Amino acid sequence: MKTLALLILGTFFTVGNLFATVEVVFENPEEYRDIDYGDHQTKRGIKIHLPRLEQHILKLGKRYLKDGQTLTMNVTDIDLAGDYEPWRSPDFDDIRIVKSIYPPRISFSYEFKDSEGNILKSGEEKLVDLAFDFRVRISSYDDLFYDKEMITDWMRKITKDLD
């Protein structure tokens, strides 16, 4: 019985190591340039936007990383596409206006490792998508569409030459 339990446990840990792993850390999110959800509602934005961005990055890791590879991403700043313009009227207090003068930006450091823990690639990035408003927007319901697409483009390019 003990042998069977150890065999099952050993199989679980072996299989667990075959999958790609992604870790996302949001460093000092209250100091980010623009993570607001509504005019000057940073805490609300942290609760709403950061989990959605993290889920997107985790999904990208499953899609683009090979089995056993690991991505660690330390996000240091975010400026979401668009901005709030409350001077338009009091009714615009919680409406994000998306136009070309408010491009999405994200700063982070990253490290890709293989299954043995060897560093494949690492560095720091400051992504800005100045042509974001020329993208064909598939979903009108995703208010992080442009930010997610910028991260997706980076992930697609950076993982092309990973072994």
The CA-CA-CA angle for residues 31, 55, 121, to 5°, reads 80
Nearest Cα neighbor of 34 from 73, 71, 72, 85 is 85
Q: What is the pLDDT of residues 23-54, one digit of tens each?
A: 999 999 999 998 877 766 778 888 989 999 99
Inside any domain, residue 48: yes
- How many domains is the chain built from? 1
Q: What is the pLDDT of residues 106-130, one digit of tens each?
A: 999 999 999 999 999 999 999 999 9
Per-residue confidence (pLDDT) for residue 135, from 0 to 100: 86
Instruction: Show Cβ contacts of residue 36 under 8 Å, excluding neighbours closer than 6 positions.
Output: 42, 44, 45, 80, 84
Inside any domain, residue 101: yes
Query: Whole-model pTM?
Result: 0.82
Locate the DSSP E strands across 9-157: 21-26, 70-79, 83-84, 96-97, 105-113, 119-128
Inside any domain, residue 6: no
Per-residue confidence (pLDDT) for residue 93, from 0 to 100: 66
Q: 110: domain range? A: 19-158
Inside any domain, residue 113: yes
